[in-house]
A and B are shown apart, each in its own frame.
Chain A
Amino acid sequence: MTDQQTVDPEVLIALAENERKTLIERTPQWLLVLLFGAAVVTVWHMAVTYSGISQLVLPGPYQVLQDLIFTLNNLFTGGYVAHATWITLVEVVFGFLLASAIGLTLGMIIGATTFGRKAIMPYVVAINTMPKVAFAPLFVAWFGFGIESKIMMAAFISFFPVTINTAAGLAATDSNMSMLFKSLEANRWQTLIKLQMPYATPYIFAGLKLAAVWSVIGVVVGEYMGGGEGLGELVRVAASQLRVGRVFAQILLLSLMGLSVFGFVTLLERYFVRWRR
């Protein structure tokens, strides 16, 4: 919308002047990303070619590309990589969902009740300070070599950010809004559902995004420890055979997986927190 139909050309000149940007600011982001990536690959290629490092230890970009093509080809033709990706994806998704459920419940108990905040919170914090990865062998012992142990490990590693963010979000409720609800004689449940939870959604989603990334880590740790048929196991085997290119390609798949879950949570966030712009 314009305020007037005819705009004074001098205004346009002045506007353009105000909006003048540097070369970097004007360049589209994708181009910058590509340029920087190309630079890194060039340096990598030079380093591998001229430093005399064995290709077994650090393969050059071309070797990695070949491994990547092989891996992707295998993935899309339904080979063993596809199977492993599917297994790991299932573990990640269930691990993430479990972490979200535990995190939301615990976070609500901690954030909405004084008892939770005083009595339960310290335990949650204590658990978080432990190196949780160290529990992996126990999870294998408890839940076996199947996907269950990986799901549990993923949930265990990633429930914490959801818990803390939910609790913090509930506690952050604007005190004036709490007064409003009090004046309307809202009961505790109404206050939680109609005020505190909506108020906490930006916090909760920040926690869920962390959990999305951490559940991939949890699953991989679980697979390193407990074997199975997932991508983590493929990585472990490829590394033991010193096929570094393969390892890179498979790790790339893992990060794409993390990125997908992350992206999905971001989409949900856009929908639920659209009032926040």
Chain B
Amino acid sequence: MHDVRSDGDAILRLDNVNKHYRRARSGQADIIHAAKDVSFELERGQMASLVGASGCGKSTVLKMIAGLIPPTGGEITLRGEALTGPNEHIGIMFQQPTLLPWRSVMENVLLPIEIREGRKAANAARERATQLLEMAGLAEFASAVPSELSGGMAQRAAICRMLVTQPEILLLDEPFGALDEFTREQMNVEFERICRSREATAIIVTHSIQEAIFLADSVFVMSPRPGRIVKRIDIDLPRPRTPDMITGNRFNEYVREIHDLLFGSGEGASHD
């Protein structure tokens, strides 16, 4: 497990990671700096959330960690080894559910296994998939096709698909965005439980400050483009988290701190 290069138990480490995009079609000098000098490290089992304004580069950071797009600077290391592309230890859930419309929900959930290990293994994993669907409240929709699902149900199915291969690192891009407040809270509790039981490391991108705090050991606050991490806020709340914490004082102090970082404390908006 221990590696000479990595300090401590860091399973994932980003070192001054940058991403520039070239904007298609327009002039050759038109380059967008989407992520700037992003550095952080996570230990095994840690959960982190990433918050920031729309377009600040959150999805970009997740996609780089998933090995889907190469950084234009810096390095990402997984257990001390440089990351060069997608790998089985990292599961990502995209901002859109991206379920294949010609497959049933069950077949969609089994897709990662089917691709990595073949059809036989996928069939053998049906029971595990069923359990996940039950957890997500989708058991009776296993044979439904995606067009029969609501937006929130599709997102939940996509979460099941990510979890089915039991990756060590989970990357979630606004996973509960299309859910109502109530279901969202349930899913948060459930998701935390799963991560803890698997000792999974997770990064959750979210637009909800409450959700960011509720799920995370550390909240990373990003600046508008070019997205940098302006602050890492460690959340000192006991685990497992419970819904009643959300109304607690400590929780609300965190909310205020993150809110001020995101929207500025002095300017206009919040007068006490």
Contacts and interface: CB of A to CB of B under 8 A. Distances in A.
A182 B90 CA distance: 12
Interface stretch (B95-103, B174-182, B195-203): B95-103
A184 B115 contact: yes
B86 A185 contact: yes
B86 A195 contact: no
A180 B102 contact: no
Contacts of B115: 181, 184-186, 190, 194
A277 B67 CA distance: 35
Interface stretch (A171-179, A205-213, A220-228, A244-252): A171-179
Interface of B is mostly: loop
B226 interface: no
B100 A195 contact: yes
A88 to B, nearest CB: 36
A198 interface: yes
How many residues of B sit at the interface, in one of the four size bands? Answer: 20 to 34
A226 B147 CA distance: 51
A274 to B, nearest CB: 9
B86 A180 contact: no
Given A184-B86, A185-B87, A185-B88, A198 B102 contact: yes
Contacts of B114: 194
B112 A275 contact: no
Nearest to A180: B98
Contact of B92 (A174, A183, A195, A277): A183
Contacts of B85: 185
A20 interface: no
B111 A184 contact: yes
Contacts of A276: 101
Contact of A176 (B67, B98, B116): B98
B216 interface: no
Contacts of A183: 66-68, 86, 90-92
A179 B101 contact: no
Nearest to B63: A179
Contact of A184 (B96, B101, B116): B116
A275 B114 CA distance: 20
Given A176-B94, A176-B96, A198-B102, A182 B147 contact: no
Contacts of B67: 183
A277 B146 CA distance: 12
Nearest to B146: A275
Contacts of A174: 98
Interface of A: 174, 176-177, 179-186, 190, 194-195, 198, 201, 275-277
Given A180-B98, A198-B102, 12 more contacts: A176-B96, A179-B94, A183-B66, A183-B67, A183-B86, A184-B86, A184-B115, A185-B85, A185-B88, A275-B145, A275-B147, A277-B147
Interface of B: 63, 66-68, 85-88, 90-92, 94, 96, 98, 100-102, 111-112, 114-116, 145, 147
